[in-house]
Structure 1
C-alpha cells in the first residue's frame, strides 16, 4: 500500500525552498526600492533574480506532486496492456514498422563495415573499402637566431627525396 500524502504533497523540501527564495527575494527587492542606499539598483536586480530562481523550486515541487495512474503510464513507459497482447492495433503496427526500419539501418551499417558512430557519409554510402591512412614524415632543421647561411632540408617520403627551401624568421631586438 502506498503512503497517502496530504497538505504539501511529496516534495515538501522543494516547497519550503521555493517559499524561502520568494521571501528573501521580495525582502531584497523591497530594501532596494525603499531604503536610500547608493547600490539600490543592485538590490532591485538581485531581488528579482532570486524571485526568478524560486521558480525552479516551484516547478520541482509541482512536477514532483503530479499523480498519474499506472493505467495511463502503460503506453508512455513501454509497459504493454495485459488484455490486448504485445502487438495489436495501430500502436502495434507502428512498433513493428519502427523496429524493422531501425534494425534494417543497423544491419546495413554493419554490412558496409562502418563502425558505429565513425566514418563519413561518403565512405558509408560508397560501400567500398574503408580509407587507409598514410603517415608522412617531415624533417625539421633547427636554427640559431643569427644564422645567415641558407640550408635545405631533405625529407624522404615514399622513396622520393623532397628538397625544402630554408626559411628564416625575423625577431625584433628587445
Structure 2
C-alpha cells in the first residue's frame, strides 16, 4: 500500500528549499533597495538571482508530485494495455513484426560474433599504408645560384631553394 501524501506531497525537501531561497532572496533584494549602503546594486542583483534560482526547486517540487495513472504509462515504461487487446489489430501486428525483426538481428549478431570492429574489417586492412618507405637521397655540394633537388625512390624531383642556417653563440 502506498503512503498517503498530504499537503506538500512527496518532495517536501524541494518545497522547503524553494521557500528558503525565495525568503533569502527577497530579504537581500529589499536590503539592497532600502539600506543606505554603497553596494546596494550588488544586493539587488544578488537577491534577484537567488529568487530566480528558487525556480529550480519549485520545478523539482512540482514535477516530483505529478501523478500519472498506470494506463497512461503503457509505452513509456513497457506496460501494455490489456483492455484494448495488445495482441490484436494493426498495433499488435506491427508489434509482432518489430519483435521478430529485432530478435532476428540479435540472433544474427550473436551467430557472427557481434558487430564488425573498425580495426579488423577488410577495408581497413586494404587501406593500411606501409610504415617505412625507401627513400634515396644524393649528397651534393651546394651552389649559390642553383636550387637543390632531392630524388625519391618514386622518381619525383622536388626543387628546394638554398638556405643557410645561422647559429648564435651560447
Shorter-chain TM range is 0.5 to 0.7
C-alpha distance in 1, partners of 2:168/2:16?
Answer: 65
Give runs of ≥4 in structure 1 deviating > 6 Å.
100-108, 164-174
Alpha-carbon deviation of 1:18? Answer: 0.3
Alpha-carbon deviation of 1:104? Answer: 8.5
Structure 1: where are the runs of 5+ without partners? 120-127, 138-156
Which residue of 113, 124, 127 corresponds with 1:131? 124
Alignment of structure 1 residues 1-174 onto 2, 5 Å: 1-96=1-96, 115=116, 129-132=122-125, 133-134=128-129, 136-137=131-132, 157=133, 160-163=134-137
C-alpha distance in 2, partners of 1:4/1:101?
Answer: 44
Alpha-carbon deviation of 1:53? Answer: 0.8
C-alpha distance in 1, partners of 2:46/2:116?
Answer: 51
Task: Pick closer, same or farther for the CA change 1:2–1:162 going to 2, 3 Å.
Answer: farther
Per the normalisation by structure 1, the TM-score is 0.61
Considering only aligned residues, what root-mean-square deviation do their CA atoms show, in Å? 3.9
Task: Pick closer, same or farther for the CA change 1:40–1:91 going to 2, 3 Å.
Answer: farther
C-alpha distance in 2, partners of 1:19/1:84?
Answer: 44
Structure 2: where are the runs of 5+ without partners? 138-149, 151-159
- Give the number of equivalent residue pairs: 142
